[in-house]
Amino acid sequence: MKLVFASNNKNKIQEIQALIPNSIQILSLEDIGCTEDIPETATTIEGNAILKANYVKEKFGLNCFADDTGLEVEALHGAPGVYSARYAGEQKDANDNMDKLLVELKGKSNRKANFKTVIALNLENKQELFTGIVNGTIITEKIGTNGFGYDPIFVAENYKKTFAELSMQEKATISHRGIAVQKLIEFLNKI
């Protein structure tokens, strides 16, 4: 089975390809000749995943899935949420985003947060949604060099290391994206 993953984010593609069984071939947007940036104009994480999956289905007519992920911080009423990638501006710089978040949490004792991933699958004219959530804490400084995004400042519940200190395999077993992808795989295996 071939499925388009509606992303040009090489880190995400690599992470998902490592999780998906070999019987499913993942194609990137680049692989299908989609060079435009798919608009992410929804106000929710679910909405953006659906927008991206529908874009590929409508423009290219291919079975596909898309994801959107956000970091939701309790003390900031769920921010950055749907705006996680561009929290510090349209340049979408991970260090700028983390720096802004750390400044906004300075002096706050409630540092609870969760990562949420929603995958929208468009397969044979039906749409399915799969959600993965991992709860944790935002620490006060960046630690670790693996991963991407907010990984250096996020520690999952019951763990002592940041996501950026974990190997890709370790992170995949506990992460929001790993949970959502596992639900996707379980669904695809039933077909």
Is 107's pLDDT higher than 80?
A: yes
Q: What is the pLDDT of residue 169?
A: 85
Does an H or E element contain 46, and which? helix 45-60
The answer to whether 29 and 7 are in contact (CB under 8 A) is yes
Averaged confidence pLDDT in the chain: 93
Burial 38-68 (b: 16+ CB within 10 A, else e): bebeeeebbbbbbbbbbbbbeeeeebbbbbb
Percent of the chain past pLDDT 70, that is, above it, reads 100
Fold of 2-189: Maf protein (3.90.950)
CA pair distance 105, 26, nearest whole angstrom? 38
Q: Which of 41, 139, 68, 54 is nearest to 98 (CA)?
A: 139
The average pLDDT across 46-70 equals 96
Q: Which of 31, 37, 67, 68 is catalytic?
A: 68
Start-to-end CA distance of the chain, whole Å, equals 11
Is 154's pLDDT higher than 80?
A: yes
The domain locations on the chain are 2-189
The set of residues, in sequence order, having a beta carbon less than 8 Å from that of 61 and lying 6+ positions away, is none
Distance of CA 75 to the CA centre of its chain: 21
The average pLDDT across 79-87 equals 96
Is 127's pLDDT higher than 90?
A: yes
Please indicate whether residue 67 is annotated as part of the active site: no
Which residues does residue 2 pair with via DSSP β-bridges, in sequence order?
25
The average pLDDT across 65-70 equals 95
> Taking the model in full, what pTM does it have?
0.91
